[in-house]
């Protein structure tokens, strides 16, 4: 709290001294390391491009910390203009109607040129209300894809140019690899919740929850205990015992990437934005593929859903500042800035123009696999089951998913029991949330 | 200690002198504590846009939540294990160091070092050593036929957080025990030795009983430590997992309040914790403070 107050005070002091010259727009973000430097570079580019506004980026820690800090700051009346919030915080932000300034409305009222149709529907669909209005500005969105080690595939006698297409392929190939001794594990994955449950559901056109996965109502219920999900978790538990699958840990699965980089696991499923890390850390040729699917499930593969974060605008600032925000958002959405950010980070481009620019530049020919994510999210027009998901308290529900998955792997629960527990505990959290906001 | 009462010429001076301390207590303790109590009776959305008085609802929900009751159990196991392990080892080390004649200071200094390590750093060190993918200990344990995995096995995770927390606390306990041992008159031990008591007998019948106030004091301090100061260790190692197996009360406050943004429940949990601290402090002042020789 003191830290927040101090930062707030510091930000105020800064505003006071520079206000005479330029209108300051503060942006709290959660991008550390390389991504953080790139973000600052983008902001510097914007600040140099005009002299009416100045965007001040402030790194506030990880996604959870940034969101918590912004909410605490709002309660204290010290909120930033823009805050970067991860996708699972969407339900919470949307419900805070008096605190957020919807982006479509902001763009309109600030008189900025804004064409919602220019944005990729699979990306912005996650962040629109039921009338199709864009509530927050997508900044960094990604989707899970499959990476594989071509050397291990070749050593096991598999075709290194063919990625597994179905889960049956994944299992068969993993067993061939294990039998040949080319690697100690078939595959590993980041984000059990996001990749092996939410995206699994969307990819197979199975509902994650009622009311269009929660888009329609804050009182929606989870439905992830369906036959496809139960079957998949059952397989994962069995594969873990057989050595086909290696668990990478809860949350993002911090042990998954090292196991792939070290050649311990032949395949790795994670965000398309992990591409830069994979390319930098692997000493072997990397192959790319779409997420596997069960070919006997009707409608699979459908389309994958995104993760990542968007920029929310908070209320309580001057009209001048909001004009600056709108101007900055227009800059961020421009094809050049978008293509540059997308190509640097592996995050998806948010506009069709940025994707087309990348194609025209020949970027995807030179960087195979860089468009795998875009191909997945645009594979089919999104259905109510594959548009995304939106539930209150979803940050905690993600933890519940991890906990129940651990119980499954530890052999304490069957996959049906584990997923039933996810639904039951998750629904209690959703009810709690609905109760608090109503 | 001869004259407890000092007299001041101005009746305001003592209050003036106390004021800074009182102000700090008010700002950093009473005010936030009052806020927590207030918040624990409210249900609020994260942004504070709609607030509703719900009476004791947050508390009743809490005590009907299996996760919270589990957290009590976990905290009990964790506290007792850490306290027993760190007090036991510290006593052993202190008795050994007390007997060393040459290089006594060197040992003492080395044994005190871990106390200077920040809890988060201690957590990371142990997490690293026990990491199933890159750690050295799972590799060695694997050689012995044990598949260590603190991310999946609740028992392994508990051992990890207990070791990391106890390791840090041993130094503190060691210092108190060493001081306690040195306060025991040499003549008592010599008299016992002359009467024919061996080292073990001397320890059991003379040294340990004389150390009992210190031990009791350390027990309370250690339990307080495990309940409230091990947050960083848990956060850096298991994050309360797997499946809440190491989710101690203080960590749950953080998880529900800061990650889950459920302020009402989090505040109610803080109030419960505050009650526990009060009881522990009461025990310490009422029963122990007067007997321990520092």
Q: Where are the domains of chain B?
A: 64-288
Considering the domain architecture, whether residues A343 and A428 belong to the same structural domain is answered as: no
With an 8 Å Cβ cutoff, the interface of chain A facing chain B consists of 64, 68, 71, 74-75, 92, 95-99, 247, 249-251, 255, 258-259, 264, 393, 395-396, 399, 402-404, 406-407, 409-410, 412, 429, 432, 435-438
In a domain, A376, yes or no: no
CB burial readout A184-195, b (16+ within 10 A) else e: ebbbbbbbbbbb
Give me the pLDDT at residue A97, please. Answer: 86
Please name the member of B49, B131, B261 whose beta carbon is closest to the beta carbon of A99. B49
CB spacing of B255 vs A399 below 8 angstroms: yes
Cis peptide before B245 (omega within 30 of 0): no
Count of Cβ atoms closer than 10 Å to residue B3 Cβ: 6
In a domain, A375, yes or no: no
Q: Enumerate residues 6+ apart whose C-beta is below 8 A from B274.
A: B33, B36
Whether residue B133 lies within 8 A of chain A, CB to CB, comes out as yes
Residues from chain B contacting residue A410 (CB–CB below 8 Å): 152-154, 242-243
Taking one residue from A and the other from B, the number of pairs with CB-CB distance under 8 angstroms is: 84
CB spacing of A99 vs B47 below 8 angstroms: yes
Considering the domain architecture, whether residues A300 and A311 belong to the same structural domain is answered as: no
Residues from chain A contacting residue B255 (CB–CB below 8 Å): 396, 399
Rounded to 5°, the CA angle A131-A132-A138 comes to: 140
Considering the domain architecture, whether residues A153 and A298 belong to the same structural domain is answered as: yes
Q: Which of B145, B127, B241 is nearest to B136 (CA)?
A: B127
Tell me if residue A216 falls in helix, strand or coil.
coil
Considering the domain architecture, whether residues A219 and A115 belong to the same structural domain is answered as: no
Q: Domain of residue A405: give its range.
A: 144-304+384-437
Structural contact between residues B31 and B39, judged by C-beta atoms closer than 8 angstroms: no
Considering the domain architecture, whether residues A321 and A292 belong to the same structural domain is answered as: no
CB spacing of B241 vs A410 below 8 angstroms: no
Bridge-partner residues for A147, per DSSP?
A: A268, A288
In a domain, A370, yes or no: no
Say how many domains are in chain A: 2
Residue B76 CA to residue B264 CA, distance in Å, equals 24
CATH number for A414: 3.40.190.10
ipTM of the modeled complex? 0.73
CB spacing of B260 vs A393 below 8 angstroms: yes
Structure token pair of residue B63 = 């005590």
Q: What is the pTM of this model?
A: 0.82
Whether residue B43 lies within 8 A of chain A, CB to CB, comes out as yes
Structural contact between residues A210 and A223, judged by C-beta atoms closer than 8 angstroms: yes
**pLDDT tens-digit map of B155-174:** 999 999 999 999 989 999 99
- Selected residues 160-219 of chain B with any CB under 8 Å from a CB in chain A: none
Whether residue B154 lies within 8 A of chain A, CB to CB, comes out as yes
Please name the member of B47, B50, B241 whose beta carbon is closest to the beta carbon of A74. B47
CB spacing of B47 vs A436 below 8 angstroms: no
In a domain, A379, yes or no: no
Alpha-carbon gap: A367 to the closest alpha carbon of chain B (Å): 30
Considering the domain architecture, whether residues A300 and A313 belong to the same structural domain is answered as: no
Structural contact between residues A222 and A421, judged by C-beta atoms closer than 8 angstroms: no
Please name the member of B133, B243, B262 whose beta carbon is closest to the beta carbon of A255. B133
Considering the domain architecture, whether residues A218 and A88 belong to the same structural domain is answered as: no
Q: Which of A315, A39, A16 is nearest to A8 (CA)?
A: A16
Considering the domain architecture, whether residues A166 and A276 belong to the same structural domain is answered as: yes
Considering the domain architecture, whether residues A399 and A253 belong to the same structural domain is answered as: yes
**A265-271 vs A144-149, strand pairing mode:** antiparallel
CB spacing of A435 vs B43 below 8 angstroms: yes
CB spacing of B241 vs A247 below 8 angstroms: no
Q: Which of A129, A148, A143, A157 is nearest to A194 (CA)?
A: A143
Please name the member of B45, B241, B260 whose beta carbon is closest to the beta carbon of A406. B241
Task: Show the DSSP H helices in A224-264 as ranges.
Answer: 227-242, 256-261
Structural contact between residues B217 and B179, judged by C-beta atoms closer than 8 angstroms: no
Structural contact between residues B84 and B165, judged by C-beta atoms closer than 8 angstroms: no
Count of Cβ atoms closer than 10 Å to residue B66 Cβ: 9
Considering the domain architecture, whether residues A151 and A227 belong to the same structural domain is answered as: yes
Residues from chain B contacting residue A409 (CB–CB below 8 Å): 152
Q: What share of chain B is helix, strand, coil (3-state, %, to 5)?
A: 70, 0, 25
Considering the domain architecture, whether residues A266 and A352 belong to the same structural domain is answered as: no
φ, ψ at A270 (rounded to 5°): -165, 180
CB spacing of B242 vs A250 below 8 angstroms: yes
Count of Cβ atoms closer than 10 Å to residue A106 Cβ: 20
Which class does domain B64-288 fall in?
A: mainly alpha
In a domain, A69, yes or no: yes
Residue B274 vs residues A256, B69, B80, B281: alpha-carbon distances, Å:
40, 17, 19, 10
Alpha-carbon gap: B154 to the closest alpha carbon of chain A (Å): 9
Residue A175 CA to residue A333 CA, distance in Å, equals 45
pLDDT in tens, chain A (438 residues): 444 444 544 554 444 444 457 899 999 999 988 889 999 999 999 999 999 999 999 999 888 889 989 998 998 899 999 999 998 888 889 888 889 999 999 999 988 888 888 888 888 888 888 788 899 998 899 999 999 999 999 999 999 999 999 999 999 999 999 999 999 999 999 999 999 999 999 999 999 999 999 988 888 999 999 999 999 999 999 999 999 999 998 888 888 999 999 999 999 999 998 888 888 889 999 999 999 999 999 988 999 999 999 999 999 999 999 999 999 999 999 999 999 999 888 899 888 899 999 999 999 998 888 889 999 998 998 888 998 898 988 888 998 999 999 999 988 899 999 999 999 999 999 998 888 777
Whether residue B255 lies within 8 A of chain A, CB to CB, comes out as yes
DSSP summary character for residue A382:
P
In a domain, A378, yes or no: no
Residue A119 CA to residue A123 CA, distance in Å, equals 8
């Amino acid at each position: 709290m003191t830290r927040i107050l101090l930062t707030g005070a510091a930000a105020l002091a800064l505003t006071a001294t520079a206000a005479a010259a330029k209108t300051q727009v503060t942006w709290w973000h959660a991008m550390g390391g390389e991504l953080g430097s790139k973000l600052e570079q983008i902001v510097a580019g914007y600040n140099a491009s005009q002299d009416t506004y100045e965007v001040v980026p402030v790194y506030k820690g990880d996604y959870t910390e940034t969101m918590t800090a912004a909410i605490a700051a709002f309660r204290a009346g010290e909120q930033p203009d823009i805050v970067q919030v991860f996708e699972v915080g969407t339900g919470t932000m949307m419900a805070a109607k008096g605190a957020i300034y919807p982006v479509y409305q902001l763009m309109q009222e600030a008189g900025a040129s804004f064409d919602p149709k220019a944005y990729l529907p699979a990306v912005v669909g996650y962040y629109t209300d039921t009338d199709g209005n864009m509530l927050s500005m997508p900044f960094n969105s990604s989707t899970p894809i499959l990476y594989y080690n071509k050397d291990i595939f070749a050593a096991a006698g598999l075709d290194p140019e063919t990625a597994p297409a179905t889960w049956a392929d994944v299992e068969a190939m993993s067993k061939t690899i294990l039998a040949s001794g080319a690697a100690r594990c078939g595959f590993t994955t980041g984000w059990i919740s996001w990749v092996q449950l939410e995206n699994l559901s969307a990819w197979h056109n199975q509902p994650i929850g009622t009311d269009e996965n929660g888009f329609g109502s804050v009182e929606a219920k989870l439905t992830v205990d369906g036959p496809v999900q139960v079957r998949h978790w059952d397989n994962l538990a069995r594969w873990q015992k057989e050595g086909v699958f290696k668990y990478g840990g809860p949350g993002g699965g911090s042990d998954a990437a090292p196991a792939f980089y070290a050649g311990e696991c032949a395949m790795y499923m994670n965000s398309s934005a992990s591409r830069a890390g994979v390319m930098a850390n692997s000493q072997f040729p990397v192959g790319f593929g779409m997420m596997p699917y069960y070919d006997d499930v009707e409608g699979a593969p459908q389309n994958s859903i995104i993760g990542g974060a968007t920029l929310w605008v908070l209320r309580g600032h001057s009209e001048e500042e909001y004009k600056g925000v709108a101007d900055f958002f227009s800059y961020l959405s421009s094809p050049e800035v978008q293509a540059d950010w997308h190509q640097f980070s592996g995050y998806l481009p948010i506009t069709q123009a940025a994707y087309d620019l990348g194609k025209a530049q020949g970027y995807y020919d030179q960087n195979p696999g860089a468009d795998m994510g875009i191909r997945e999210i645009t594979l089919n027009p999104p259905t109510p089951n594959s548009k995304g998901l939106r539930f209150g308290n979803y940050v905690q529900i993600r933890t519940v998913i991890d906990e129940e998955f651990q119980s499954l792997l530890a052999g304490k629960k069957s996959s049906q029991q584990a997923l039933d527990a996810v639904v039951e505990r998750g629904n209690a959290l959703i009810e709690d949330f609905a109760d608090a906001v109503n | 200690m001869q004259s407890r009462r000092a007299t001041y010429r101005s009746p305001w001076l003592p209050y003036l002198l106390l004021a800074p301390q009182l102000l700090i207590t008010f700002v950093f303790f009473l005010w936030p504590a009052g806020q927590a109590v207030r918040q624990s009776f409210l249900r609020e959305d994260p942004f504070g846009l709609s607030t509703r008085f719900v009476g004791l609802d947050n508390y009743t929900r809490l005590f009907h939540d299996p996760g919270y009751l589990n957290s009590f159990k976990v905290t009990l196991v964790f506290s007792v294990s850490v306290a027993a392990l760190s007090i036991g080892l510290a006593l052993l080390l202190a008795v050994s160091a007390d007997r060393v004649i040459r290089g006594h200071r060197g040992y003492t200094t080395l044994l005190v070092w871990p106390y200077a390590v920040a809890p988060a750093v201690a957590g990371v060190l142990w997490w690293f050593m026990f990491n199933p993918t890159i750690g050295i200990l799972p590799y060695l344990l694997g050689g012995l036929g044990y598949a260590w995995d603190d991310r999946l096995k609740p028992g392994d995770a508990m051992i990890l957080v207990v070791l990391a927390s106890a390791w840090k606390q041993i130094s503190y306990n060691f210092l108190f025990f060493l001081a306690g041992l040195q306060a025991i008159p040499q003549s008592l031990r010599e008299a016992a030795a002359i009467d024919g008591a061996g080292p073990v007998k001397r320890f059991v019948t003379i040294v340990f009983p004389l150390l009992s106030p210190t031990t009791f004091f350390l027990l309370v301090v250690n339990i307080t430590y495990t309940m409230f100061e091990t947050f960083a260790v848990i956060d850096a190692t298991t994050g309360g997992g797997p499946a809440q197996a190491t989710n101690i009360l203080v960590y749950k406050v953080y998880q529900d309040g800061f990650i889950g943004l459920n302020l009402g429940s989090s505040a109610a949990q803080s109030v419960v914790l505050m009650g526990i601290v009060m009881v522990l402090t009461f025990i310490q002042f009422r029963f122990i403070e007067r007997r321990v020789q520092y």
